[in-house]
Structure 1
Amino acid sequence: MKLKIDNGTALSRYVAAIYWSTITMTTIGYGDIVPITDLERIYVSIVTLISCGIFGYSISQIQEIVGEIQRKSETFNKKMLALNKLMNSRQLNKKIMYQVIKYYEYLYKESDGNLEEEGLNMIENLPVSMRDSIKFEMNHKYLYSQKIFSLNFTKPFLNELSMKIKQLKIGPETDLYQLGEFDKRLFFVQKGSIALYIKQSHNQKEYSILNQIYLFQLFTHF
């Protein structure tokens, strides 16, 4: 009685049939709240199809993302298993094995960081004036935050020096330099921390940490 389908025109009955099939197919019937007019039925049918399409697409994308993560994890685990078998068969030193494993775990966790490297490469392809402006904005804060630079050098020199800063990504258990080596480079820690240590061959401890360098701190070796 409420829908008045039997007394309607052929077009009205056809619209009602489309509405019924759409709601039935998508299994989202909502009880006593139903469209009455043909225009309402057409509107609800269109919105239902669009909504279900968007929902299905979203679920598909989530499944694809989860599947990609699982595939990457399985591939990494297989490679690490092969690497462990190789190192064990060659009877490598446990410390070296630990360093290798931690390094590859770091690379795996930081694999999304490749986007940053791609961004830096894109900056290099910009016009010179634009590229220099971006480099200055990214790097000058490291120089101006250190009194050894701000008190001893002019701003034009520091601005020029900021263009020379290059990014270096290193993993855990990696030595920047060994005792006795001479290195003229200056390092600013942008992420993570760096440990300065000295080996203690005569002691039970393998090394002794002298200092720990954290975010935005400066260190060098000369």
Structure 2
Amino acid sequence: KIRINYAALSVVRIIISLCLCTHWSACLWTLFSSFTQPTPQNTWLGASGYCIPNASLSSADLPYDVSYYSQSAPQGKETGWVCMGARSLYAAATYWSAMTITSIGYGDIAATPGNYAEQGIATILMLSGAMVWGQVVATFCAVISSLQANSMAFRETLDTLNDFMAVEQLPKPLQWKLREFFFRTKHLRVAYANTRIIREMSPGLQAETIRLTSHKWLRNVRFLANTDPGFVAQIVLALKPLVFTPDDIVLPEFGELFVIHRGVCLYGGRILQVGAVWGDDMLLENSALRSRNCAKALTYLETNSIDRESVYAIAARFPESYQRIRRFVGFLALHRQIVLLAKLERGMREREGVPKRQRTRAAATFFAAASRSEQTGRRKLEAQETVAALTLGQKVMSVTMLKRLGRTEALSGYYAAAAGQPELFYSGAPSGRGAPSGEG
């Protein structure tokens, strides 16, 4: 429940370990020197001046300032030696221990020549300190590398790019564009890392996390409304990042749903910004009913996309969501077909020279019939839970609506030829009526 920076925690742990190792080495260094020799004379304590002969001796015969020892140090053993206080000895031993562990080297304190026990313990402490110091260096290197992992990977990518451009001898303007592209998209590595983190979560946590992090654009995707949160989570995880440079054209032939993550584009005469989506009609089987608008990137455009096959592959694991999607596709196909046939009817009447007033009355009759037909189609879809909305729309429009207009044969054939699927259009036509001939 507490946020912990594990990089900082590693640094704190290794610093504590270093301090403990320094303390223990200092204690062992002084302890062995005190117990292995009867007097401090042949130890580092005597050789470095931390213990001197008893101050009762004649100060004229000694090279030490005995007044300092007699005032600040307790009386030593009966051997006639006086040593500094515990604080002074601990400071000196810690000083030696720190130099040993950090591999700085030796100066005024070292193992006494001829004292083999002291030299042996110094060797053991040096080897132990070397291992501890190696761990300290490794920990700091690992922490620094983890803090700059993305930057290091980006620099490696740039080095690879520079080598590639040098080998291929690309022109300078193109090299500038390529470098700018990679600089503009270097933060995508963070997005990849976030996706990997979400994939490692349980399905329930995935759904909850994605609902909170992606709600700004999920509400703009119509076929994801009121669907299973698990299905939505899988759709989001299946999104693929795609980046377009300024003035790039995204053709409708992509057949994918696009979500703007960063940047601005022009689509269908509208400016789309972060969180906007386009291409949700890619679920329609009949490409003639899909939008033919192109998107143009006005800036560097970062998008996430998913194709039709991926959506249906994921939906196959969620039966309820699959039925909702198919109903959405059915209603969308029916609506698109009504609009398309209305445009075709208007175009035919204009070419035949029908006056505008008559065209207006015909249009009113057309849309009234279309409305009744659409309601009939919706009732059939809900009752049968069918997904063949395109075929249903064609049947309703060709048999019911167009018969009212008296142009069933000509207009049906015209649309079927335009759609390129006459067999679908007439799959439910009354007996005695087949697909129109090539002349139709």
Q: What TM-score does the superposition give when structure 1 sets the normalisation length?
A: 0.49
Larger radius of gyration: 2
- Give 1 or 2: higher helix fraction: 2
What is the TM-score of this pair, normalised by structure 2? 0.29
